[in-house]
Amino acid sequence: MCVAQPMEVVEISADGKTGRARYMGSEFEIRMSLVAAVPGDYVLVHAGCAISEIKKSEAEEIEMILKLLEETANEP
Amino acid sequence: MNREALVGRINKFAGKVKIMEVCGTHTAAVDGFGLRALLPEGVSLVSGPGCPACVTTAEDIDRLVKLSENAQVWTFGDMVGIPGSVSSLAEARARGAEIKIMYSPFELAERAAQNPKKNFLLAAVGFETTVPVYASLLDTLVEKKISNVKIYTSLKTMPEAINAAAEKNAADAFICPGHVCAVTGYGFLERLCKKHKMPFVAAGFEDYHILAAICEIIRQIESNNFCVKNFYPSVVSKNGNETAQKAVDKYFCKTDAVWRGIGVIKNSGYALRKKFFEYNANLVYGKTSAEEKFFAGCRCAEVLMGGIRPNECGLFGGACRPECPKGACMASGEGACSIYYKGTVN
Amino acid sequence: MKILLKHGSGGLETRELIKNIFLKHFYNKFTSCDDAASLPAVGTRGMAFTTDSYVVKPLFFPGGDIGRLAVCGTVNDLLTTGGVPMYISASFIIEENTDAKILDEIARSMRRAADEAGVSIVTGDTKVTEGGGEGGVYVTTSGIGTDGGLSPRLIKEGDCIITSGSLGNHHACIVSQRMGITNSIESDAAPLTGIVRGLTNAGVTLRAMRDMTRGGAAASLNELSEACGLKAVLNESEIPVDVNVAGLCKILGLDPLQMGNEGKMLIIVPEREADRALGLIKKSPCGEYAAVVGRFYFGGGVELVTRSGGRRVVPMPSGEGLPRIC
């Protein structure tokens, strides 16, 4: 029940409370009052609501995880 | 991401480690990716109590069934098959109750505004990932002065549950729910790690997140040096989403909670603040009873804390199957028993 | 004009309704308003007979409607025997207050689908019931055709599993419509006559075929596995899923293997025929994204080799799934 998906913000209402998000061709309305995001940003969407901002792309995240693994493998 | 390299490193581990992946969505991901088949014998993954439908008490279900006599009940789909002491919501629907399955609760506000004479009831179940969503809904109900929606809460929080599992020695290490941590931050894991001296890794839900977390846990076990790692850095920070936390704090306060099969875990739930009594459907009932009756032979309690594998329960696969669940772990799509029954190749 | 209870009472109004909507669209040389349609004999081949009911909501959706589903679904079921579908019956249960225009559109769509499939709608029934006031239409079609003799009991170890195209489109379309999600996903409702004709005309050895409707590939493969007593193993990386369907599945936590299709078949062939069969299917209408997705082995059940290199069982779907997708 923690099914949530990073999605791109494509539109945001004037009051910032709602917007539209898109992922791989599907788009729908989401609540945005819990995040500060603008069109082009990525947010984590759960049950129709953006609950977190996405700070890095998947590629950057993979790089960070690998780096973390390498660093920790080399720790004394 | 070189999955083969991660799997290779994991398979070099010659010791034994029992890792609890706390969250039902992690259980589903491990199964969906077929990851168990890639792990060496010494690495075992057990599910934890992080399946909100599985830990909703029969008493809560009974109350929701009763409430459905006078209101249209909106719920997440996972809840409809969970057995109460007499019936489930699905069975109540077959008897004529109006039970609506939702992806998102915001449509409820619209529907209620369009039908002011009709009563609506939100079955608010979930963990920290979902509580902010309910807070956001309450913003709408308050702002638009929608008075025909009541909320029955059965909300629980992870830190105390993970602590309870660690205290029971449920596992040697924990893979922690990434989406919960997106809201709460991973800071609470540092307190747990200091107390229990074992690895705590916050992970996302892709295969490489989970494999990397297992790799890191093995590394910590081998070096006997335990700490918290955040393996979902795109989404999880130390402090989490403070806007969401404030929204939750506005409407909800911490309370003790009864976890189905586990019992009372202090300070592990949320209830609506007194100020919002007009939305509170729990008030008429008082606290949930800590005394529970289970179907004779049901061992969900032990499954939820990683004590036994689902197939070690005597009812598993016989009296208790997805089409006729006797406990919540089989009734919920993210329940450990339901996922185990639908199969893992070993 | 709204359909009212009197339109289902078997009197003047029923006759008018049948004449103005059903006969208008369905008429062919075999159509009968007698109690039964009389049909010519078809050589000495055995017959295949099937029936299906359709309760989908919404009635109209991108790529199709309940009428198109009703014809294609029954045609495709008949095609799985490897024979030739011939005649269809169509029964309607209509909730009072349904707009007659909706019924007219459904009937028009059914005729179009029947012509695509090369079948005739020859008989039917109409009933009108009390409803909730919003109207509604439910359709049952039965179909007969020749029996091509295919059966899961013919499946042998080593046989290959081909899907005629991408999985989950219909289910994804209905979910999107019901949830107000905007995307370009369309139902795949289509008769697969061209694919089956292409294979049978070329003399390809076929073992069995399955129309992958409710429960998706998972349900069909579990049924095949049980019927033939062998284990089906799939390769996830070979399974075609449209990008937009895959995206919707990720958002909603759905599994394309468990999602219904209305224009996709599983085709089981001996290994030696796999390449030839695949080539022919890809040249046929609705077959361009066909792929060999797995094989049968000794054992039981259905397994998936995942993209991660792991393995899991693909169970028979259970639980509610999405209500009324077909």
ipTM of the complex: 0.92
CA C16 to chain centre: 31
d(CA B260, CA B336): 14
Whether C314 shows a pLDDT value over 70: the answer reads: yes
Query: CB distance C179–B37 less than 8 Å?
Result: no
Query: CB distance A47–B179 less than 8 Å?
Result: no
pLDDT band at C323 (very low <50, low <70, confident <90, very high): very low
List the beta bridge partners of residue B124.
B153
- C31-66 burial, b for 16+ CB within 10 Å, e for fewer? beeeeebeeeeeeeeeebebebebebeebebebbbb
d(CA C173, CA C79): 24
d(CA C292, CA C290): 7
pLDDT at A64: 84
Structure tokens at C116: 């695509």
DSSP letter (8 states) at residue B18: E
Whether C104 shows a pLDDT value over 80: the answer reads: yes
Neighbours of chain C (3+ CB pairs under 8 A): A, B
d(CA B102, CA B89): 14
Query: For chain B, which residues make up each domain, given as ranges?
Result: 1-283, 300-344
Of A33, A58, A69, which is closest to B216 when you measure between CB atoms?
Answer: A69
DSSP letter (8 states) at residue B157: -
Query: CB distance C183–A23 less than 8 Å?
Result: no
pLDDT at A74: 65
d(CA C227, CA C211): 15
Q: Is C5-146 CATH 3.40.228.10?
A: no
Of C310, C318, C320, which is closest to B37 when you measure between CB atoms?
Answer: C310
pLDDT tens per residue, range C148-203: 999 999 999 999 999 999 999 999 999 999 999 999 999 999 999 999 999 999 99
d(CA B248, CA B126): 13
Query: Which of C176, C185, C250 has the highest number of chain A CBs within 10 A, making it the mutation to test binding with A?
Result: C250
Query: CB distance C176–A29 less than 8 Å?
Result: no
User: Strand, coil or helix: what is A23?
Assistant: strand
Neighbours of chain A (3+ CB pairs under 8 A): B, C
The residues near B138 (Cβ < 8 Å, ≥ 6 apart) are B151, B251, B276, B279
pLDDT at A23: 96
Neighbour tally for B3: CB within 10 Å: 18
pLDDT at B94: 93
Place of tokens 């349609």: C37
The residues near B181 (Cβ < 8 Å, ≥ 6 apart) are B189, B202, B230, B232, B235, B236, B240
| Length of chain A counted residue by residue | 76
Kindly provide the residue ranges of all beta strands, DSSP E only, lying in B7-133, ordered along the sequence: 17-23, 43-50, 72-76, 99-102, 120-126
pLDDT tens per residue, range A26-76: 999 999 999 999 999 999 999 999 999 998 788 888 888 888 788 766 655
On the question of a cis peptide bond just before residue C58, with omega within 30 degrees of 0, the verdict is yes
Structure tokens at B255: 């309370």
A59 reaches B (C-beta below 8 A): no
d(CA B177, CA A2): 8
Sign of CA dihedral C76, C79, C81, C86: positive
User: Strand, coil or helix: what is C138?
Assistant: strand
Query: Which of A7, A24, A45 has the highest number of chain C CBs within 10 A, making it the mutation to test binding with C?
Result: A24
d(CA A67, CA B6): 13
Structure tokens at C174: 């209905």
Query: CB distance A55–B233 less than 8 Å?
Result: yes
Structure tokens at B26: 């992690």
Query: CB distance A24–C253 less than 8 Å?
Result: no
Which CATH code for domain C152-313?
A: 3.90.650.10
Task: Decide which of 3.90.950.10, 3.40.50.11740, 3.20.20.70, 2.60.120.620 is the CATH code for B1-283.
Answer: 3.40.50.11740
CA distance B80 to chain A (A): 13
pLDDT at C201: 96
Neighbour tally for C326: CB within 10 Å: 22
pLDDT at B343: 73
pLDDT tens per residue, range C50-61: 999 999 999 999
pLDDT at B346: 36
B56 reaches A (C-beta below 8 A): no
Q: Low-confidence residues of chain B, pLDDT below 70? A: 1, 344-346
Whether C325 shows a pLDDT value over 60: the answer reads: no
Whether C130 shows a pLDDT value over 70: the answer reads: yes
User: Strand, coil or helix: what is B295?
Assistant: coil
User: Strand, coil or helix: what is C270?
Assistant: coil
Q: How many helices (H) and strands (E) does chain B have?
A: 14, 11
- B301-317 burial, b for 16+ CB within 10 Å, e for fewer? bbbbbbebbbeebebbe
d(CA A14, CA C213): 44
d(CA B270, CA C230): 51
Query: CB distance B24–A68 less than 8 Å?
Result: no
d(CA B189, CA B175): 11
The residues near B156 (Cβ < 8 Å, ≥ 6 apart) are B52, B55, B126, B127, B257, B259, B265, B268, B269, B270
Q: Are A44 and A5 in contact (CB under 8 A)?
A: yes
Place of tokens 């339901």: B338
B1 neighbourhood in chain A, CB within 8 Å: 62, 65-66
Backbone angles phi, psi at C190, to 5 degrees: -165, 150
Burial class (CB in 10 A: 0-12, 13-18, 19+), B224: exposed
Where helices occur in C64-138 by DSSP H, the ranges are 66-79, 100-117
Neighbours of chain B (3+ CB pairs under 8 A): A, C
Between strands B43-50 and B99-102, the pairing is unpaired
pLDDT tens per residue, range C74-99: 999 999 999 999 999 999 999 999 99
Q: Nearest CA to C173 among C319, C56, C320, C287?
A: C56
The residues near A40 (Cβ < 8 Å, ≥ 6 apart) are A8, A9
Query: For chain C, which residues make up each domain, given as ranges?
Result: 5-146, 152-313
d(CA B42, CA B36): 11
pLDDT tens per residue, range C216-264: 999 999 999 999 999 999 999 999 999 999 999 999 989 999 999 999 9
Q: Nearest CA to C262 among C318, C319, C216, C208?
A: C216
